[in-house]
Amino acid sequence: MLPHYSPFKVAETFKMLSALAPGRIDLGLGRAPGSDQRTAYALQRDRSRRMPMDDFPNNLAELLAYLGDGLPSDHPFATLKETLPTGGGAIEPWLLGSSVDSAAWAAETGLPYCIADFINSDGAPQAELYTRHFRPSRWLDKPYLMVATWAIAAPTRAEAEHLALPAKMMFHHLVRGELIPVPSVEKAMAWSAENDVPQRQRRSILGTPAEVRAEVDAVAAAYGAQEMMLVNIMPDHAARRRSYQLLAAEYGLVSIAQAA
């Protein structure tokens, strides 16, 4: 979340990560604060001034310059690129977003673009804008689109729906300005039974591995995506890992024995 950090700090950190793990580091860049207002303030209170989100295009350009050919020689920070860690190879920057602004910036800068479908499931116009206005760059010669969508797989659809309740409860409180830890499935089930609260319309793909695969494939086709990312929030790490294993097995990425 670039509003929380200076471009140079991000470049320095990811250059170091790339030096430690060559060829394995991608850098996802987002404009939104990615948190509630209190957390955003806590992240920025030690800075001399808060970074307005409207500064994002300039800060994105500065960061990409540190990762690429560097800033113009007359820029006050031009020599800083020489102090960055080396030896890790190229870092692949991505633009993340759910709005037309992020789609436009990704197209203009020639970056791969990841649409947050789990935030905005009506992102097809952003995908079309990105593809239509894409400009080739040092990073990419043609558009490359990833879609991140919410998905939980379990042996039965009923179990998948139960596993989704903790996130539903957490997001309900977050919208009201209340930040709570991810509750247990049991606590979320009791809360759901007592609260008939309408949720913001977000796509949730829940079901058996075969059911989830069918919906994931449909989302990819609707966006024209080259890659899919599956995300979720669950209190039980074992259940979360199992969800990914079941889907990996469904797509033939691992054996059924490994997924069991």
Highest mean pLDDT pick, 58-62, 86-90, 252-256? 58-62
pLDDT: is 72 or 41 the higher one? 72
C-alpha–C-alpha distance, residues 158 and 171, integer Å:
20
Cα distances (Å, whole numbers) of residue 148 to 23, 116, 171, 203: 22, 5, 18, 11
- Are 61 and 105 in contact by the 8 Å Cβ rule? The answer is no
- Are 122 and 140 in contact by the 8 Å Cβ rule? The answer is no
Question: How is residue 23 written in tokens?
Answer: 């060829």
C-alpha–C-alpha distance, residues 136 and 132, integer Å:
12
Q: What is the pLDDT, as a whole number, of residue 9? A: 93
C-alpha–C-alpha distance, residues 131 and 222, integer Å:
14
Cα distances (Å, whole numbers) of residue 22 to 66, 87, 238: 18, 8, 29
Whether the pLDDT of residue 123 is over 70: the answer is yes
pLDDT 10s digits, 14-28 = 999 999 999 888 999
pLDDT 10s digits, 127-137 = 999 999 999 99
pLDDT 10s digits, 136-154 = 999 999 999 999 999 999 9
The C-alpha torsion from 80 through 81 and 83 to 85, rounded to 10°, is 150
Residue ranges of domains in the chain:
1-94, 98-260
What lies within 8 Å, CB to CB, of 191 at 6+ separation is 165, 169, 183
- Which CATH entry fits the domain spanning 98-260: 3.40.50.1580, 3.30.70.920, 3.20.20.30, 3.20.20.70? 3.20.20.30
Instruction: Average the pLDDT over 56-83 and give the result.
Output: 92
- Are 168 and 227 in contact by the 8 Å Cβ rule? The answer is no
Instruction: Average the pLDDT over 161-190 and give the result.
Output: 90
Whether the pLDDT of residue 88 is over 70: the answer is yes
Question: How is residue 16 written in tokens?
Answer: 């170091």
pLDDT 10s digits, 199-216 = 656 799 999 999 999 999
